[in-house]
Amino acid sequence: MDFFRLLLAGVREQRMLFGLMAGFALFPAYTAYADLPFWNDVAMRIMLLGMAAMGLNLILGYGGMVSFGHAAFVGIGAYCAGISQFYGLYNGWAHLALSLGVCGILGLVIGFLALRTSGIYFIMITLAFAQMLFFLFVSLEQYGGDDGMSIDRAEFVLFDLYDPLRLYYLIWSTLLIISVVLLFLVRSRFGVVLQATKNNESRVEALGLSPLGFKVTGYVISAMICGVAGTLFASWQEYVSPDIMHWSRSGELMIIIILGGLATLAGPLLGAVVFLLLEEFLPELLYLIAPDYAENWMIIFGPIMIFVVLFARGGLIGWISRFGAQRIYRQGDGR
């Protein structure tokens, strides 16, 4: 089977990615054994944030486009579920299809406009679009405005999501599909050109390829992945509000990617694991030392982040594998 041969070709990165996925697959068995159902919830949140970060990493890490507004697509995905339910459409597949469509079109428009600029201007224009969408949803009183709207878990015809494990494995399989898609995408002809535009745009032009087309396509795919994450996030949270698309959420996604490793497949997922575990444990830790400051866990997280950026180039993945994280995908090429 060509598909599986190509899937398994390569060493380090895929092993890490599939290892993490295997861990998530078995995790509910552990929580059931240890009677810690709360941790299933945390794991789901990790997978959802990891999914969104993987989507953003396609353009941030592989494409070198620093989009500071990708939480907007997560939010749009969530509102696709919320607003559908508002009008009585509870089918989860329909929500996902809608989310892919809306985020695709919106990604195309925003990407096409924003990618005419680069560098700091690109960062600012993506942030501006995200803020626009944020305030749009804040002002939509009909859909809860600032307060957001409570929703039900979507119906996925064949299975009922009120069994928490079904939602867990729905998220898990979606994440697996997205991982495999990205795994092929970044090594494909399209993927290597996308990475080439990050390295040297004028060389890509000199080869007769228009960088804008590749970057916009990458931007659209990345927006769609974030949209899917958002739609599932809505079902997980049973609640949608503009807070999910606040600019600080975009920053969180970037932190997760940088923490885990830019331009790596497993990086964003590993980053999400570490980020959310720190978010879970640092306040408790801080509470032991200085109870009054427990909620300011970022005081400790900040220095950790600085340490990672300064000393673990290529993030945790790069640190673990001690290889240039950017080049890992090449090692399995069998040349």
Contacts to another protein by CB under 8 A: 6, 9, 184-185, 187-193, 195-196, 199-200, 202-210, 213-214, 217, 326-327, 330, 333-335
Q: How far is the CB of 121 from another protein (least distance, A)?
A: 20
Q: How far apart are the first and last CA of the chain?
A: 20
Residue 99 or 326: which CB sits closer to another protein?
326
DSSP-assigned letters across all residues of 69-83? -THHHHHHHHHHHHH
User: Rounded to the nearest whole angstrom, what is the least distance from the CB of residue 329 to another protein in the complex?
Assistant: 8
Neighbours of 59 (CB within 10 A): 28
**CA nearest 96: which of 222, 230, 253?**
230
Closer by beta carbon to another protein, 202 or else 248:
202
Q: H/E element holding 240?
A: strand 239-240
Pick 171 or 262: Cβ nearer another protein = 262
Comparing CB distances to another protein, the nearer of 70 and 187 is 187
Dist CA 307 CA 326 (whole Å): 20
CB 282 within 8 A of CB 301: yes
Name which of 173 and 200 has its Cβ closer to another protein.
Answer: 200
Residue 11 tokens read as 């060493």
302 versus 324: smaller Cβ distance to another protein: 324
Q: How far is the CB of 215 from another protein (least distance, A)?
A: 13
Q: Kindly state the smallest distance separating residue 14's Cβ from another protein, in Å.
A: 12
At closest approach, how far in Å is the CB of 207 from another protein? 4
**Residue at 266: amino acid letter:** A
Least distance (Å) between residue 143 CB and another protein = 35
| Residue 288 φ/ψ region, left for φ over 0, alpha for ψ in the -120 to 50 degree band, beta for the rest | alpha
CB-CB neighbours of 232 under 10 Å: 29
Secondary structure element (H or E) that encloses residue 155, with its range: strand 155-156
